[in-house]
Structure 1
Amino acid sequence: MNDTATVFNQHIAARSLGESTDAPPPVRHVCVVGGGTAGWMTALMLATTAYGPRLKVTVVESPQVGIIGVGEGSTPWLRGFFDGLGIEESEWMPACNATYKSGITFQNWSTKPGFERYFHPFASMLDNMTMHQFVDNVHARLDGADVHAHPDRFFVAAALARQGRGPRAQHSFPFDVWYGYHFDATLLGAFLGRKTVERGVCHLQGHVTEVMLNERGDIDRLQLGDGSSLEADFFVDCSGFASLLIGKALQTPFISYAENLFNDAAIAMPTPHEGVIESQTVSTALRHGWAWKIPLTNRCGNGYVYSSAHCSADQAETELRKHIGALDSDLPARHLKMRVGRMAKQWNRNCVAVGLSQGFIEPLEATALLFVQRTAGMLVDALEQGDISQAAQDQFNEAMRVRFENTRDYIVAHYKTNSRTDTDYWRANAENMNLSASLQQVLMTWMSRKPLAPVLKAGRFGQGYPIVSWYALLAGMGIFPEGDDLQPPTAHQARHRLNTVDDFVARSALNFPDHRELLANIPPRAGDQTLQLYLW
């Protein structure tokens, strides 16, 4: 699979091995419009290409436009980004108040007894010892056997999150967990900005007032607020939801996902951090959406993602304040609007959109930076191959379409499988039939008690979420026959000794340190020799 981390590491290796870079680059000057995490990540990856020393990269950042970042979580792919650049966690994590993330707990999405809460684990080498027991028990329960099939019991990552442990094991325990991070997005953008400028990227403070096109319809130059103009061969739109280049200038159509992802607004409200620093994001279903809890080293990020069609901003803020115990507090609340969907083309003419300008799928599984990495990595790959033809653009756009739609389907599956009936919002989500053919096939396969692997492969879902993620979701939500319909298992169905699984998970977890202690003494990375094991 030609994923971002692999391609990026290949670029680094090519430079270190001294491979020839005599071929002229297809473009000589790339202008990135917008700073923030998306802009600086993209510029940094461009500056680290095999022909980076001969490629001029300019980041234009407006002093008049604020950064949306409210404190974020990531998928495990972010680890590959930093590993590829050779940036140690001990350097960037303290600078961004970052913590480790073993996965996500989903709370109150299901009302089924015993399944009101479940954990979505990130992959681990240790899963090879317990995954088959979990899947066997899932299928036995789908067949009507009364066996344990809740995912939390089978995965080390879930134990780490429960116990407040960090997902980096002692050096004497050579088994990896493919973890993610929590961080302050504003601080991360600033950190990456410093690193990017250190690597030769030009940083220009300027507000774009007009995008000028040439006679062919390509972007020719940018008009800035001080009266100057900036020309480039190629442009990257990191201007956020404004989509100044890809949307406003090039008039690329926007495809909304509102028909099956109802949430279009959010509130962010940080609170002081107390007690244990958990290595997990917690997503708690509320009346009209869900609340996030993201632990940083200096505070706890809280927020509420909701549907403005089902409740007002004031009602949502009151509900969030009640949820976090701040109903009578003067803590400030930041209200945000979200445009959920994607551009019909991520690459249009001589412009590629990266980040919120290209599209956004609500933050339930923290996929925003994953799309930044994938898109920027594919752009780097195209430029290094010297191919910016229409065929290359079409291939690029098709790959991004598949990735957006597959990620959307995985997020929609959370809402479709909910069993809450307390509000119109949750009932509408459960009754929603605006599902893709691929997602319908996954759900039908589950209900027909057949293995998911073939249908997930056919739908190319493995590009974003592995089989374990789908099994954890559907089993964790309790999508099984009702308890009264379950029968005692046969000897074959009960063949796995769960006390052995419990012992393995418990003893494995002992090799991982307290999360707070790990953050105080972050060890150097051992290299990327384990990276290829978890590229989904």
Structure 2
Amino acid sequence: MADTATLFNRHIAARPAQGSTDRPPPVRHVCVVGGGTAGWMTALMLATSAYGPRLQVTVLESPQVGIIGVGEGSTPWLRGFFEGLGIEESEWMPACNATYKSGITFKGWSTRPGFESYFHPFASMLDNLTMHQFVDNVHERLGGADVHAHPDRFFVAAALARQARAPRAPAHFPFDVWYGYHFDATLLGQFLARKATALGVRHLQGHMRQAVLDEAGDIDHLQLDDGSALSADFFVDCTGFSSLLIGQALQTPFISYAENLFNDAAIAIPTPHEGPIESQTVSTALGHGWAWQIPLTTRCGNGYVYSSAHCTADQAETELRRHLGLLDADVPARHLKMRVGRMAQQWHRNCVAVGLSQGFIEPLEATALLFVQRTAAMLVEVLERGDLGPAARAAFNDTMKQRFEHTRDYIVAHYKTNSRTDTDYWRDNAENLHLSESLQGVLMTWLSRKPLIAGLQAGRFGQGYPVVSWYALLAGMGIFPDADELQPPSPHQARHDLAAVDDFVRRSALNFPDHRELLGHIPPRHRGSTLQLYLW
């Protein structure tokens, strides 16, 4: 088993470095082009690197270009980012209308009886006491025994989300839950900007007209609309889908994932939000994609991610409005186009792309900010090592390629395993044969009724996500023998006392506070021992 302390330590290693170094920085001036969450998070991590004020950081932000601003959910990695900077939740969360996130509920992705909805949990220390029962029952059901193997019953995070409880227990309950957040993306970018400028990051308002290359093909300087030039040693492209530096100036090829991720457009419609706040994102399958529901303290973020090859923008908006009960309401909708895939190189010459400029995998598992955080952390690590040579670039790009492809595989698995037949969209996803060898290995192993654990641990397939995530997905979608193939379990197959599991989950959840009440009075983080979990 791989314990989560290891994963947690890797996460902490990905935060901005502390301390200082006597070595001079390999570059003196880094220019981040583009603001928003990606630009300001990168600038903040650079400003808090081991070089401190000896590394000049400039953020060039165009007043003519807005931000996407609808990526409002995170993975648990964001928690470590703020903890690494010493920023308390009581400071940043109210400033960003943020709420806690225990995981994601998927509604309507499966039509298999008993599996029409499931919850993908974030890890908890308490899972150590229910994970074995869940995995054992999954294996028994795969083998044909009629035992309960739906993930929702086994994880405290699912109970917290359903009961509108915050995944933060009081200090006297020494069992941690590894949670994410929901937030207003625009406000988060503004908060990070204030933190970064307070640390000496230069904020320059201006619109880039052209990136001028030198004789070697590197970026020499930026020509601005007012006629001035902005020079730097190294550039970070945070210009969104436009990819003005890495794509347009440096002509880096883009690798599309359209052959197995069909969604390329989205619509966003906010609605008021009052009453209980469930600590979850909800993803509901619609006719040509899926709708998100993200609860903030002041509103609910709603949207529809869909395939423009399967329906028009007007059809998608009508479907979303019907889903929200807003067909006759005068509520504006915001339409967005998405470019799903990645740059062939995330680091090309003297430029690293961060955020949408480097690539994008549709927002199903809220990975966009995770890619920002990981890429910026890798950039800081490279700069602190002082090696910007070809080998360092190759290693950087290979790591990012693997991360993109591993994440893509996990997202594709959601679509491939759907059982809907009501539209061409869902049928096309289920019939999609453009699967990586790794994903084929996961699915073939599961369908052959063999445990995934050995293959995942050995790195033969399914990398990038822990075992519990794969089990929650495939079991939650009901990928088991049909009901008429199942047999009554033997005493050994039904060896786990599920009433005891229910009682444990119920009583554990009682230790966690009401979500909305906690958000009104967020306490300081308890600085206890390192999170110890088992993720298999």
Q: Matched residues, percent identical?
A: 80
- Tell me the number of residue pairs that the alignment of Structure 1 and Structure 2 aligns: 530
Alpha-carbon distance, 1:462 to partner: 7.2
Alpha-carbon distance, 1:66 to partner: 0.3
Does 2:14 match 1:11? Answer: no
Q: Distance in 1 between matches of 2:331 and 2:400?
A: 39
Query: Where do 1:64-213 residues align within 5 Å?
Result: 64-70=64-70, 72-213=72-213
Alpha-carbon distance, 1:71 to partner: 5.0
Q: Distance in 2 between matches of 1:233 and 1:30?
A: 6
Q: Distance in 1 between matches of 2:444 and 2:195?
A: 48
| Cα pair 2:288 2:423 within 8 Å, conserved | yes
Query: Where do 1:442-461 residues align within 5 Å?
Result: 442-459=442-459
Q: Which residue of 1 aligns with 2:490?
A: 490
Cα-to-partner distance string for 1:432-472 (whole Å, 9 max, x where unaligned)? 00000000000011111222123223447776321111000
| Cα pair 1:8 1:84 within 8 Å, conserved | no
The letter for the 2-side match of 1:304 is Y
**Aligned CA distance change for structure 1 residues 418 and 531 (closer, same or farther; 3 Å):** same
Q: Distance in 1 between matches of 2:463 and 2:63?
A: 37
Q: Distance in 2 between matches of 1:364 and 1:180?
A: 14
Does 2:37 match 1:37? Answer: yes
Q: Distance in 2 between matches of 1:70 and 1:487?
A: 47
Q: Helix, strand or coil for the counterpart of 2:322?
A: helix
| Cα pair 1:290 1:305 within 8 Å, conserved | yes
Q: Helix, strand or coil for the counterpart of 2:17?
A: helix
| Cα pair 1:71 1:182 within 8 Å, conserved | no
Q: Helix, strand or coil for the counterpart of 2:200?
A: coil
**Aligned CA distance change for structure 1 residues 96 and 104 (closer, same or farther; 3 Å):** same
Alpha-carbon distance, 1:531 to partner: 4.9
Cα-to-partner distance string for 1:168-214 (whole Å, 9 max, x where unaligned)? 00211000000000000000000000000001100000100000000
Alpha-carbon distance, 1:93 to partner: 0.3
**Aligned CA distance change for structure 1 residues 309 and 359 (closer, same or farther; 3 Å):** same
Q: Distance in 2 between matches of 1:244 and 1:528?
A: 44
| Cα pair 1:120 1:472 within 8 Å, conserved | yes
Q: Which residue of 2 aligns with 1:419?
A: 419
Q: Distance in 1 between matches of 2:17 and 2:370?
A: 19
Q: Distance in 2 between matches of 1:532 and 1:208?
A: 47
Q: Helix, strand or coil for the counterpart of 2:381?
A: helix
The letter for the 2-side match of 1:6 is I
Q: Distance in 1 between matches of 2:76 and 2:519?
A: 17
Q: Distance in 1 between matches of 2:228 and 2:528?
A: 44
Residue segments in structure 1 that go unaligned for 5+ positions in a row = none
Greater Cα shift, 446-455 or 56-65: 446-455
Q: Distance in 1 between matches of 2:394 and 2:38?
A: 23
Q: Which residue of 2 aligns with 1:317?
A: 317
| Cα pair 2:16 2:49 within 8 Å, conserved | no
**Aligned CA distance change for structure 1 residues 279 and 239 (closer, same or farther; 3 Å):** same
Q: Distance in 2 between matches of 1:533 and 1:523?
A: 23
The letter for the 2-side match of 1:101 is K
Query: Where do 1:381-396 residues align within 5 Å?
Result: 381-396=381-396
| Cα pair 2:16 2:380 within 8 Å, conserved | no
Q: Distance in 1 between matches of 2:454 and 2:391?
A: 30
| Cα pair 1:265 1:337 within 8 Å, conserved | yes
Query: Where do 1:227-238 residues align within 5 Å?
Result: 227-238=227-238
**Aligned CA distance change for structure 1 residues 4 and 197 (closer, same or farther; 3 Å):** farther
Q: Helix, strand or coil for the counterpart of 2:115?
A: coil
| Cα pair 1:98 1:183 within 8 Å, conserved | yes
Does 2:337 match 1:301? Answer: no
| Cα pair 1:178 1:534 within 8 Å, conserved | no
**Aligned CA distance change for structure 1 residues 269 and 423 (closer, same or farther; 3 Å):** same
| Cα pair 2:456 2:463 within 8 Å, conserved | no
The letter for the 1-side match of 2:404 is F
Cα-to-partner distance string for 1:468-527 (whole Å, 9 max, x where unaligned)? 110000000000000011001111110000000001000000000000011011010123
Query: Where do 1:266-277 residues align within 5 Å?
Result: 266-277=266-277
RMSD: 1.5
TM, length-normalised to structure 1? 0.97
Q: Distance in 2 between matches of 1:41 and 1:242?
A: 19
Q: Which residue of 2 aligns with 1:371?
A: 371
Q: Distance in 1 between matches of 2:66 and 2:390?
A: 34
**Aligned CA distance change for structure 1 residues 250 and 532 (closer, same or farther; 3 Å):** farther
Q: Helix, strand or coil for the counterpart of 1:106?
A: strand
| Cα pair 2:441 2:461 within 8 Å, conserved | no
Cα-to-partner distance string for 1:65-113 (whole Å, 9 max, x where unaligned)? 0010125100000000000000000000000000000000000000000
Q: Distance in 1 between matches of 2:251 and 2:428?
A: 33
Residue segments in structure 2 that go unaligned for 5+ positions in a row = 1-5
Q: Which residue of 2 aligns with 1:287?
A: 287
The letter for the 1-side match of 2:64 is Q
| Cα pair 1:284 1:290 within 8 Å, conserved | yes
Alpha-carbon distance, 1:167 to partner: 0.2
| Cα pair 1:4 1:378 within 8 Å, conserved | no
**Aligned CA distance change for structure 1 residues 302 and 174 (closer, same or farther; 3 Å):** same
